[in-house]
A and B are shown apart, each in its own frame.
Chain A
């Protein structure tokens, strides 16, 4: 035991004593192993490849090379803490915690350390209120937006009236899965649909009961908040009971190729929410091919390029890079600090022209962040799976969610957090 301890001391001392200088450091708390590895790998690859692209093509951001610090969490909260503690001293600019559990962990820690967190499409929804959560960002969309976008989509295909329709929410029985319930309940009152809740316990390998119930009750629509193995099993079961797939909508974490491919051709028509483009039909992929793939610098095997989660990782990296550029403009220095990064994220503005110039025309919604609003406008679209071509297709534009309803929920939840933790207004 003494030997192990000594060795650990020696190792950590050396590790801690080599801070990275004069680089823009982006930690990546990736999960390429463990129960969710299948989803973690493409995201991590996309995140890493975009920074490689920026370094290779542009020589860094504003002339300063970006450096990626990858740390494996295995989606495990304690490993996430270890990763955070071991990378935060090395000039880390922004954290993508990539798991609800780790995000909740890091919210107070990173706030105390003054490092911004970008939990893109996950994490604590009410962090969208920048007045309370000064260091936490969750643009461009959060779970409550997602729930509302799903309902809006149903409204749209029903000509604006879904009263009397029955909607079943099948969800992962965890903090993550329970996120949309409040919003869907409030919206049910507003639009007059019936909501049924169907929890599935982790990991969700066995869902016969739930799908037999859906088969019995024949809800008009099924909305899914699933994760990991729960997704492919649910989609397979839906195919098995011959549920009309176009009435089945998943959140953006239930809409990757991994989830639909195992169900085969029957999965055609399944819909999933998204807040970024799908497929690899964007000019930036030519650059990635040229600067990253052809030079053999891909983070992973290179076989994930263009998948939904790869795109999401790349999108996250792109937003981080743009935030750095904004920060560099504001402060007039190239080698920015985490505090400057925070300012950059808060002043971030994504316009159509900007995305086109990056080779990502219409890849995500145009939005801007402000001090009060760290969640963006909450725009999102719907993509539909086509098994024959093996592709997701966008079937709607990035459309707004019901912010009247959601903003009230966000204010309520964040006010409770502020009161509990004695947080003063960050914007005044």
Chain B
């Protein structure tokens, strides 16, 4: 077989892996939308905030150092200790759970039964708030995130496949992407197990189905919301780690949300497997398009093509591939 064929395969595989990275972000949206019907615009900023918090804790940064220094004229920067990665991750997770409590207590509680667009707007306000707050807390310079994940092309695979065709340099697969895939699989599996086999998980699904009915059988809506937002915070942390390892932790991390939206659209806002499958379709689709058509129309097509691809799917299935069928009655 020719090198071109293998290169196409390579693009497809890499597209799949990239798609999984998108899915990690999309999962957070799905969790919250499913349980509370809120389209959480702040998910991207949450990923950024989680990653910043992780790095901040790991490297022993003093929170609000810049602000404190400006007000009191001190020169605080670091505590001078380093927290082990695993502990730092747990602590960052703790911060995200605390964050979920605060969101529920001060925002969601007051907005029960409002239109979806109002809740959407509230999450936009939340995104604004966190963007400023995160920078105040940890500073806006670029930070290095190192949690010990391997990066770079997998040399073993490359060498093993390099003689498959003339002019073929072997398959390229990023170690980090493979880790991301493994983590995503574990994450999705445990989320599915959690929602199918635990009491809380069932309560979550009950609320997602019909929150009035769920309330009437004694499920506390507020507890559920805290749990869902904590879960979304956890997913944001994972997404923040994977993306932050790639590019360093800085503002643009919050923009990965934009890459997750077509995934959501395609997979459906309410389906966890949909987020994964949707991510893969988007990833493969945009990479293949850039590979095959991009050179003829000037390249850099990935941003819009992902949306157009999702749009094409939607025209045939307006609720996404895995979304719940929309039944309308007059």
Contacts and interface: CB of A to CB of B under 8 A. Distances in A.
Given A206-B18, A236-B246, A41 B251 contact: no
A265 B280 CA distance: 32
Contacts of B153: 240-242
B302 interface: yes
B298 interface: yes
A32 B140 CA distance: 7
Interface string B151-184: 1110000000000000001001010000000000
Interface in A17-32: 32
A301 B69 CA distance: 9
B246 to A, nearest CB: 6
Nearest to A32: B140
Interface stretch (A123-131, A152-160, A193-201, A246-254): A193-201
Contacts of A301: 66, 69, 77
A216 to B, nearest CB: 6
B247 A233 contact: yes
B11 A212 contact: yes
Contact of A229 (B11, B247, B294): B247
A236 B152 CA distance: 8
Contacts of B255: 35, 203, 205
Contact of B14 (A173, A208, A228): A208
Contacts of A216: 7, 169
A417 B140 CA distance: 38
Contacts of B144: 261-262
B10 A232 contact: no
A404 interface: no
B279 to A, nearest CB: 12
A201 B140 contact: no
Given A209-B290, A232-B247, A262-B248, A201 B300 contact: yes
B7 A38 contact: no
A208 B247 contact: no
Interface residues of A, number: 41
A35 B286 CA distance: 24
Contacts of B286: 209
B299 A199 contact: yes
Interface in A230-266: 232-233, 236, 239-242, 258, 261-262, 266
B73 A296 contact: yes
B142 interface: yes
B252 A236 contact: no
Nearest to A36: B251
A303 B172 contact: no
B190 interface: no
Contacts of A38: 140-142, 250-251
Interface string A317-341: 0000000000000000000000000
Contacts of A201: 300, 302-303
Interface of A: 32-38, 41, 173, 197-201, 203-206, 208-209, 212-213, 215-216, 218, 228-229, 232-233, 236, 239-242, 258, 261-262, 266, 296, 301, 303
9 contacts: A37-B250, A203-B255, A206-B259, A229-B248, A240-B153, A240-B174, A258-B248, A261-B144, A262-B248
Given A38-B251, A229-B252, A236-B246, 12 more contacts: A32-B140, A35-B252, A208-B287, A209-B11, A212-B14, A240-B152, A241-B172, A242-B152, A262-B142, A262-B247, A296-B73, A301-B77
The 3 nearest A-B residue pairs measured at CB:
A38-B142, A199-B300, A37-B140
Interface of B: 7, 10-11, 14-15, 18, 66, 69, 73, 75, 77, 135, 140-142, 144, 151-153, 169, 172, 174, 243, 246-248, 250-253, 255-256, 259, 286-287, 290-291, 294, 298-300, 302-303
